Amino acid sequence: MIRAYVFDAYGTLFDVQSVSAVTDAAFPGHGEIITQVWRMKQLEYSWLCSLMGDYQDFWSVTRRALTYTLGILGLRPTEQLFEDVAEAYNRLAAYPDAAEALAGLTGVRRAILSNGSPAMLQALVGQSPLAPFIEETISVDAKRCFKPDPRAYELVEERLGVAPGEVMFVSSNGFDIAGAKKFGFNVARISRVPEAALAAELAAPGPLAASAFYRALRTQEEALGHAPDVVVTSLSELVALRTEG
Q: By C-alpha distance, which of 10, 67, 40 is closest to 211?
A: 40
Q: Is 97 a residue of the active site?
A: no
User: What values do phi and psi take at 196, rounded to 5?
Assistant: -65, -40
Residue 166 has pLDDT above 90, yes or no: yes
- Angle at which helices 195-203 and 210-218 pack, to 10 degrees? 140
Does the N-terminal peptide bond of residue 28 adopt cis geometry, omega within 30 degrees of 0? no
Task: Give per-residue pLDDT as tens, 57-78.
Answer: 999 999 999 999 999 999 999 9
Triad 68, 74, 77: Cα angle to 5°: 80
Residue 243's pLDDT band, with cuts at 50, 70 and 90, is confident
Residue 152 has pLDDT above 80, yes or no: yes
Residue 170's pLDDT band, with cuts at 50, 70 and 90, is very high
**From 8, 57, 97, 149, the catalytic residue:** 8
Distance CA 160, CA 68 (A): 37
Q: How far is CA 166 from CA 145, 153, 161, 244, in A?
A: 23, 13, 10, 17
Write down the pLDDT at residue 114. 98
pTM of the full predicted structure? 0.96
**Residue range 122-128: mean pLDDT, rounded:** 96
Residue 244 has pLDDT above 90, yes or no: no
Does the N-terminal peptide bond of residue 148 adopt cis geometry, omega within 30 degrees of 0? yes
How is residue 235 annotated by DSSP?
T
